[in-house]
A and B are shown apart, each in its own frame.
Chain A
Amino acid sequence: MEDEVLFFQEFSIMGKDFSNAGTVSTQIKAILKEIGFDPVIVRRAAIAAYEAEMNVVMYADRGVVRLRVTPHKINIELEDEGQGIEDIELAMQEGYSTATPEMREMGFGAGMGLPNIKRNSDEFEITSERGKGTRLNIVINAR
């Protein structure tokens, strides 16, 4: 059964909650490691999840992350409510950033987030509606 869901969990992220930023992705990393995925795969998923989580914390009001694991795929879906992205093509360019000085002080906002998520994903989809929010779908093949 190729699409049998081995694991599913939903997490929530609060926008601007910098003190908890990263807790969802560290949990995701621990879960994937526990399931027994190859460390290279776990690292890719954790990096993609962390960048995506930071984007929600930095730019959105709130967000939901759904982690779905099947024998062949890790699927991380993020949906946030917030300002959305005006020009996705521009946001996908390395180095393009709308970060504030506060975000840069955190070590983020270099304009590497979305390209970095894409680089670590086997499938990557992004949709956004200005003033409503953004949805990311990240798939990492288990092998």
Chain B
Amino acid sequence: MKLTEIKELLDAEVITGANRLEDDFQEVCSADLMSDVLAFATPGTILVTGLTNVQSVITAHVAEVGAIIYIRGKHPEEDAIKLAKQKNLPLLASPLSMFEACGRLYAKGLKSGSNTPK
């Protein structure tokens, strides 16, 4: 699903990465704990999170997450935005809850971007 469609689906605002709205995503991972992202996220996944500090962007960069969607109307902090611009990482902000955001993405056929142990 293209990022531009995801933006519409989640009523989201694009904070950085407007040049990457045509990028296609197949997987979604949701977490507020960055160690869980580092442990379980698959490369290229979208990350849905409520953690807005710079660590969210560093974690995404290190784990090769393809885009971050901040939920619950939260906006990333300034240093997070600055780093995301440097790394050309798309950041979006949605007013939806984590459940609602993930539910809409799941209903559209996106798959789990999380290799959790069974």
Contacts and interface: CB of A to CB of B under 8 A. Distances in A.
A84 interface: no
B62 A116 contact: no
B61 A107 contact: no
Nearest to B61: A26
Nearest to B117: A94
B64 A107 contact: no
A43 interface: yes
A119 B39 contact: yes
A106 interface: yes
B64 to A, nearest CB: 6
A29 B32 contact: no
A116 B38 contact: yes
Interface stretch (A45-53, A73-81, A125-133, A135-143): A45-53
Given A107-B55, A108-B34, A29 B62 contact: yes
Q: Tell me the dominant secondary structure on chain B's binding face.
A: helix
Interface in A43-94: 43, 46-47, 50-51
A: interface residue count bin: 20 to 34
Nearest to B58: A22
A71 to B, nearest CB: 24
A111 B55 CA distance: 17
Contacts of B35: 51, 107-113, 116
B27 to A, nearest CB: 15
B79 interface: yes
Contacts of B51: 107
28 contacts: A19-B54, A21-B58, A22-B62, A25-B58, A25-B62, A26-B58, A26-B61, A29-B61, A29-B62, A43-B62, A43-B64, A46-B62, A46-B63, A47-B38, A50-B58, A50-B59, A51-B35, A105-B53, A106-B53, A107-B35, A107-B56, A108-B35, A108-B55, A110-B33, A110-B35, A115-B39, A116-B38, A119-B39
Interface of B: 32-36, 38-39, 43, 51, 53-56, 58-59, 61-64, 79
Closest 4 CB pairs of A and B: A107-B34, A22-B58, A112-B35, A110-B33
Given A19-B79, A29-B61, A108-B55, 4 more contacts: A43-B43, A107-B53, A112-B39, A115-B39
